[in-house]
Chains A and B, each alone.
Chain A
Amino acid sequence: MAGPEANVTAGPDSDGRAPMQGGINLAEVVKESAIAAGIAGLLSLPLLGLHAANVGAQLLLRTRWELFFAAVAVVFVGRFVLALFRDRRKRPSHGPSAFDRTLHVIHERMLVIGIVALVAAVILPFTEWGGDRYIIYTATTFLIYVMLGWGLNIVVGLAGLLDLGYVAFYAVGAYCYALIATHFGWSFWVVLPLSGLFAAFFGVILGFPVLRLRGDYLAIVTLGFGEIVRVILINWYDVTNGPDGIIGIPRITFFGIEFRRGEGTFADLFGLDFSALHVMVFLYFVILVLAVITNLFTQRMRKLPTGRAWEALREDEIACRSLGINPTNVKLSAFALGAMFGGFAGSFFSVRAGFISPESFTFIESAIILAIVVLGGMGSQLGVVIAAAFVVVMPEVFRQFEQYRMLMFGGAMVLIMVWRPRGLLAFRSPTILMHPKDGKKTIVLKKEGA
C-alpha cells in the first residue's frame, strides 16, 4: 500500500500541484472513512459488541470490545484504502504506470526470458532442489498445468471460443492410456499419440453442435459436455470401473527400459544406484518436452493461415465470412488441436499417477485451467506460465494457512482481475512485420502517439 499513500501525502513524485491536491484528498478520504467506520460502529455495537450468554439459568449481557473495535478498524482501513485507489484512478494518468512498463519490457524480452526459463527448467533436477521429491513433484504438476493452459489457449486465447469443459479432453486422454495399457499392455510411447488423436476426435464431436454458439451460450454447452464425459466415466461401470477408477496403470518406461530394481533396469544400465527419484525426474522431463512442443506448435501455428484465421475469428466472425473464410473449419480446427494437447496431458497424468478416477476430472479442473489462461492474459504464452505458477504454487505456499488457503487464493485472483481485467500480459505481437528493422519499440511509441 506504500505506493498510493506516498502519492497522496507527499507529492514530490509528479507535478507541482500534487501536494495540495493530495492534502485535500487526504482530508476528504479520512472524513469519508470515519463516517463509514461510525456507521460500522453503530451496527456492530449490538451485533458484535454485546453478546447475550447463557450461564446456567441466567442470561447475562457480556461485552466484546475487542471484536467491536476490530470491526470498526477494518471498515475504517478498508474504506480508506478503497478511497485512495478510487482517487488514484480519477487522476489523469501520466502514461503507463511503472508496472505496466515492466510488463511491457517482459513482453518485449519474451524470447530471452523463455530461453532462460527453459534452461532453468532443464537444470532444476541437477541442482540441490532436484533431490527433493516434493519439489520435483510440484514442478511436474506445474508443467502439466502449463501444458493444459497452452492447449486451452488455442481455443480460448486465440480462437476466442470460451470453453468451460476442457477437462473432458484431459479425461479422454487419461482414460485412453489407462484402458489401453491395462487391457492390451501397450507402451505409453505408443498410446501417447493415440490419446492425442482420440481427444482431437472428441474435440470435433464437441465442436459440431456448438458451431453456431458464441460467448455465454458456448460456455454453458461446453460446461455441459465436460460434465457429460465425467458422468459417463462414473456410470459406464463395465469399461471405466465407475467411481472406483482404474488402478495399476503401467508405469512409464525409459523407452522400454523399466524403472525398477534389478537386472536390465534403468539404474542397472546407467550404472546408478536405484532411486525412486529417477522415474520422477524422467517424468518431469517428459512433461517438459510435451509442454515445450505445445508451445512451439502454437507459436508456429500463429504464423500460419489457420492460426491467423483463429485470431481473426476471435476479432470478428462476420468479417471472416465476408473474406471467404469458412468459420466451421476454423472453429473445428481450434477445438481439435486444443483438445489434442489436452489428451496428451491426460495420458501423461495417468501414467504418472498410476491411478485415475472421475474425481480427477471435475469442473473445478476446467475452471483452474481457464483461470490460468485468463489470468495470464488471453493468448499470451508467457502469461500462462506466470499464471500457472500462481495457481499451482500459491496454494502450496499458503499450505500453512490451512483452511484459509483457498480463500486467500480466491482473493488474490479477484484482485488480479480487478487490477488487470485483461490478464497479466495482455499484449499481442504481430505475427508478421512489414518493417522488421524498425524494431518493436518504435511501433509502441507511435501507437501511444496516435
Chain B
Amino acid sequence: MLMRDLSRPLETDIPADALLEVQHLTMRFGGLVAIDDLSFTARKNEITAIIGPNGAGKTTVFNCLTGFYKPTVGRLTLNHPDKGPFLLERMEGFRIAQKADVARTFQNIRLFSRMSVLENLIVAQHNRLMKASAFSLAGLLFMKRYAKAEKEAVELAKYWLDKVGLYERADWDAGNLPYGDQRRLEICRAMCIQPALLCLDEPAAGLNPRESLELNDLLMSIRDDEGIGVLLIEHDMSVVMQISDHIVVLDYGRKIADGDPLAVRTDPAVIKAYLGEDEDEAIPEDIVQDLGLSTRTGGTKQGDGGNA
C-alpha cells in the first residue's frame, strides 16, 4: 500500500457490495447550491430511497447520475457487476445508459406518446438491436438475424408488459394510456435496457392507493427477481417506509440522515426537517402514523413529504 494509484479509489474505501457510490457530490447553479457535498452508497439487491422536501435536490442528484448535468464537484462510481467500475461524472449523457446500464424514469413522465406501448419498449432496446442488425443494414436487406433480434426484443417487452398487466394494450398509443399505466410503462421501458441500476423519480406520484400498492410489489419484484439496485425518489412515506432497505434524507441539498427505515424515521434531524421546529403543537395524527412515531410534540409546518 505504499504506492497508491490515485485515479482508483482505495479498495478499503468501497464496501464490497457497493453498486453505486456517490462521493462529495456538489452541484451549483450560479449562486444556488442545489446539492452540497453529498455522499452515499447504494447496494445491489437493495432499494435505496432518497427522500426530502420539495426542492431538496433529489431530482438534481438523478440528473447528475444520468449525465443530464455535469456535477460541479464529486465522484460518481458505478461498480457494474459484469463490466467493472465506471466513473459516471466523466461520461457523456447517453453513454451512461448505453455503457454503464443506468436506467431512469422522470418525475414528469416522458414516454414517446405517439408511439405504441410496444414500440416504446422496442426503442428502449435500440442499442442491442442496432448491434444485431449491423446498424439497421441487416434489416434493410431482410436478413434473418434482424428478424431474430427483433423477436427477442418483443419477447422481453412481453415479459415486462405481462408483469404490469399492459400486455392486452400493447398496441395502444402510449399517450392514450391512463396516468397510472403510463407510470408503469415508463418503468418497463427503463427495465428494457436491462439496467444494472434503476433510478425512479417519484414513481408513485399521482397514483391512487391501490396502484401505489401494486407499485410496491413491482419494485420489490424488480429488486428480488432481477438482482439489480434500485434508487428511488419518493414523497409517499408509506411507499418509502415499506419497501426501502436504506434511506438517504436530503434537505436543502445536504444529507441530514442516512440509514435503514427504522433509524431514519426516529432521527430528530429528519423529524425537524419534515415537521419544522415549533415545539408547541402536536404532530397531525396521519403524519404520526406515516412516520411510525410515538406521540410527541412537533410543529405544523411540514414539507410535502408528509402527505400519504
Max chain B CB contacts within 10 Å: which of A303, A432, A435?
Answer: A432
B189 part of interface (Cβ distance < 8 Å): yes
Closest to A449 in B: B176
Q: Contact at A322–B123, with CB atoms within 8 Å?
A: no
Task: Give B169-185 interface residues, CB cut-off 8 Å to A.
Answer: 169-173, 176-178
Q: Contact at A323–B150, with CB atoms within 8 Å?
A: no
Closest to A428 in B: B114
Contact of B97 among A297, A323, A431, A434 (CB under 8 A): A323
Q: Which of A187-195, A197-205, A307-315 contacts B (4 or more CB under 8 A)?
A: A307-315
On chain A, the residues within 8 Å of B106 by CB distance are 318-319, 322
Q: Contact at A323–B111, with CB atoms within 8 Å?
A: no
Give Cα distance in the complex from A75 to B267, angstroms. Answer: 75
Q: Contact at B171–A435, with CB atoms within 8 Å?
A: yes
A residues contacting the other copy or chain, number (CB 8 A) = 36
Q: Contact at A323–B124, with CB atoms within 8 Å?
A: yes
Q: Contact at A324–B193, with CB atoms within 8 Å?
A: yes
B129 part of interface (Cβ distance < 8 Å): yes
On chain B, the residues within 8 Å of A297 by CB distance are 140
- B56-90 CB contact bits vs A (8 Å, 1 = yes)? 00000000001110000000000000000000000
Q: Contact at B67–A321, with CB atoms within 8 Å?
A: yes
Q: Contact at B126–A323, with CB atoms within 8 Å?
A: yes
Q: Contact at A450–B67, with CB atoms within 8 Å?
A: no
Q: Which of B130-138, B214-222, B247-255 contacts A (4 or more CB under 8 A)?
A: B130-138
Given contacts A304-B136, A323-B189, A450-B176, contact A434 B123 (CB under 8 A): no
Contact of A301 among B123, B140, B154, B158 (CB under 8 A): B140
Secondary structure at the A interface, as helix, strand, loop or mixed, is: helix
A438 part of interface (Cβ distance < 8 Å): yes
A138 part of interface (Cβ distance < 8 Å): no
Closest to B117 in A: A434
Min CB gap B80→A, angstroms: 14
On chain A, the residues within 8 Å of B167 by CB distance are 434
On chain B, the residues within 8 Å of A301 by CB distance are 136, 140
B146 part of interface (Cβ distance < 8 Å): yes
A63 part of interface (Cβ distance < 8 Å): no
Task: Give B97-123 interface residues, CB cut-off 8 Å to A.
Answer: 97-99, 103-104, 106, 110-116, 118-119, 122-123
Min CB gap B307→A, angstroms: 28
Give Cα distance in the complex from A310 to B50, angstroms. Answer: 34
On chain A, the residues within 8 Å of B110 by CB distance are 316, 318-319, 322
Q: List 24 A-B contacts (CB under 8 A).
A: A305-B130, A305-B133, A306-B136, A308-B119, A312-B115, A315-B115, A318-B106, A319-B110, A319-B112, A320-B94, A321-B67, A322-B66, A322-B103, A323-B97, A324-B94, A324-B95, A325-B98, A430-B116, A432-B116, A433-B118, A434-B171, A443-B172, A447-B172, A447-B173
Q: What 8 pairs across the A-B complex have the smallest Cβ distances?
A: A324-B97, A324-B98, A434-B170, A315-B112, A430-B116, A304-B139, A305-B129, A304-B136
